[in-house]
Amino acid sequence: MNDSSDRDRSPSRRTVLRGGTLAIALSLAGCFGRDDDEEDTTETEDDDRPTDSDSPPAPAEYETLALDFVEYANDADYDEVDDRIAEELAVELNSAVIDSAWDDLETQRGEAEEILSAQYEGLFDGFELVTVTARFPDGPQEFIVEFQEGERAVAGFFIPPMGDWTQPDYVDEAVFTEEDVELEATDSCTLEGTLSVPETDTPVPGAVIVHGNGPIDRDLMTGPNRPYKELAQGLASQGIAVLRYDKRTFACDVELAEVTIDEVVTDDAVTALETLRSHGQVADDQLFILGHSFGGTLAPRITERAEGIAGTIMLAPLARSIADALVAQQEYLLTLDGELTEEEAELLAEVEAIADQIRELDIEEGDVVNNLGGRPYYESLAEYDHLEAAAELDVPQLLVQGGRDYQVTVEDDLDRWEEALEGRDDVQSTVFDDLNHRFQAGEGDSVPSEYSEPGSPVAEELITEVIRFIEEGPDGAAE
């Protein structure tokens, strides 16, 4: 398999529009998930078109409706597609239009391999938005399904162009090469990855990038941006070998209702570290974990279970519980305009109910909550004390945080890490005020759509800070 730089991941295709407006791809990690055994309770008229019931749909129902709609489009079941489109939009948005757009997409990217997940994004300008993610042969593809506020019929369907990736100026392809690797996750599941290796005759330090939540490919491809690829190639340009790989929930058929946090994250990260260690160019005593978001939260656990780790780097690691973060993230998005409407308050109450379900482990067998896992997942997470695990590590640690990050914040997360690790001479933390959760630069309040803004690579200052820590250790910490 060739590296993603050699593949066209940005097809020119028709975008299905509502009212002629251009779709903006959203990418908010961690909202709500669909229960595998959840029944479709959508009420229909004689023509089977979804209609309002006495109460507006909950976020989980919107996810089910959106997921089903994309599944029907992928299966070319266009009777079902037409039945689910709002009647007043049937001239503009119908099965013939979607069929043409889908054909354009498959001509460029091949047939979809699997519809992976649906995430409710929130209420924007009177429309309920859900992002559906599918896996194609060359990487992920997002779809946005739109519903008018409180209604069940589809009011918009968007295929956002994933966009041309532009290599950042800090990447120098002349000084490193990239190799394809494979990691055995299970007997029936192999993860493909890319190893960026500096061209030199001497052993170099090595790092493994550990993903955040959700079904993520090795590049964290979002629109025209490739944050993990940019991070890996930026470090490789400065003499650090980096292994990045497709996450198990992206690459394989995973029963989310049955997995634990180790099966989703820890085990594969340990395998990746041993694969990196076995490469002849990588120094055996200079292996680092580079965990982002939830991957940063689990970095201490990975460090415990791997051998000979020289240091742990946590990029925007969550310190709060997932339940608390879910509520805070949704409240942030709902109040960006400075107010909370009655409809938005009802939505926030739904989020709080999901959070309580996670806290209390009130999860039935076979159910999937928050699109991450079922009871085994949340039980294993509850049993893991990440702050204590980090405090007990005997290796140098670096925490890096974006000041504009609303998903993981300085006040609610970094401060807790610093308190837990207080007094450790080998622990350092750095905050970059203008960076968001994916370490892209910006101004003002951070919003999900900026993750897919063209020309928004991982900031070079993050690359520089990681290199400093790897080369100098805690004694060379930035002020």
Quick: pLDDT tens for 126-161.
Answer: 788 898 989 888 778 889 999 988 899 999 898 876
Q: CATH 3.10.450.590 occupies which residues in the chain?
A: 4-158
Q: CATH 3.40.50.1820 occupies which residues in the chain?
A: 173-320+372-476
Provide mean pLDDT across the span 44-56. 52
* pLDDT confidence band for 475 (50 / 70 / 90): low
pLDDT(23) > 50: no
So what's the pLDDT on residue 330? 87
- Distance CA(249)–CA(14), nearest Å, equals 29
* pLDDT confidence band for 54 (50 / 70 / 90): low
Who has greater pLDDT, 185 or 50? 185
pLDDT(357) > 90: yes
Who has greater pLDDT, 54 or 439? 439
pLDDT(32) > 50: no
* pLDDT confidence band for 47 (50 / 70 / 90): very low
pLDDT(44) > 70: no
Q: Which CATH number fits domain 173-320+372-476: 3.40.30.10, 3.40.50.720, 3.40.50.1820, 3.40.710.10?
A: 3.40.50.1820
pLDDT(25) > 50: no
User: Rounded mean pLDDT of the chain?
Assistant: 85
Cα 467 versus chain centre, distance: 24
So what's the pLDDT on residue 50? 52
The architecture in CATH of the region 4-158 reads: Roll (3.10)
Closest to 143 in 3D by CA, of 217, 229, 198, 65: 65
Tokens of 375: 């009871």
Provide mean pLDDT across the span 265-290. 96
pLDDT(337) > 90: no
Neighbours of 220 (CB within 10 A): 27
Closest to 161 in 3D by CA, of 356, 11, 321: 11
